[in-house]
Structure 1
């Protein structure tokens, strides 16, 4: 263990810009994430805003591209529903219009198939025998994943899970 406190490293404006380019090239980022990272690296507001403008100009940073990548990834990989994805995008500072556009990119058929898949998978692992309690547990699980209540109910009723 160290006796001295570990202080975050402070970068010069140019070092931070190069590091931010690398940070953006590795994975899509939102302006909110980059802004926080630049402040974390000890930059002042003027430098932060200039670097963000440069990153946008050089196409390292693109909010729409980020929203689409985030939506696609969370839906396909994590199995999240639209409600949870929307909340995540809002936390990243994405404007509502871009959020709506990104959510519309999810194919409705794939969305319903994904919901059906997670409900069937969870249904197999729920030991509850009481049908009302079972339906409640499955509904709560799917709602926690960010799916809409009416879709969950329709699938549970129509498929007798």
Structure 2
């Protein structure tokens, strides 16, 4: 069995072309691109030159990435703000951009999404004891990244 061969790129122009394609395919954070360039075997000076070029040519935009990540994880995966914030921190997005992107989530949609998630989960829980049932739903919402107080309010209002 042959191990998969690692791509090694030493030419900065080839690296720039591959990185442009990598960024055009989907929004990326600067750290994701930096990691990929190092994985390709580029030297630190070349990596920073490529990243600068990508930013200048608008292939790489941290604010656009943060917005796309936030709205994608919320709309598609149903993640709460805590989990989205952790994901953005992991991608090394600045705290100011994290705050700005999280503020784009409409509060009414946020509560509506949490309510739908809890209703769907409530249908799968066989627990009859109200206290235990409430606890399980709250824990589920916390695991999805929703805040404790928001979850408690939604559970109180919806009587699940």
What TM-score does the superposition give when structure 1 sets the normalisation length?
0.96
Q: Where in structure 2 are the equivalents of 1:1-150 lying within 5 Å?
A: 1-2=1-2, 5-11=3-9, 12-150=11-149
Gaps of 5+ in 1: none
Aligned counterparts of 1:92 and 1:113: Cα–Cα separation in 2 = 28
- The size of the alignment, in residue pairs, is 159
Q: Which aligned segments of 4 or more residues in structure 1 are displaced greater than 3 angstroms?
A: none
Aligned counterparts of 1:120 and 1:65: Cα–Cα separation in 2 = 32
Q: CA deviation at 1:21?
A: 0.1
Aligned counterparts of 1:126 and 1:26: Cα–Cα separation in 2 = 40
Q: CA deviation at 1:81?
A: 0.3
Q: CA deviation at 1:15?
A: 1.3
Gaps of 5+ in 2: none
> 1:96-124, CA deviations, whole angstroms, 9 ceiling, x for partnerless residues?
00000000000000000000000000001
For the aligned residue pairs, the C-alpha RMSD in angstroms reads 0.8
What TM-score does the superposition give when structure 2 sets the normalisation length?
0.97
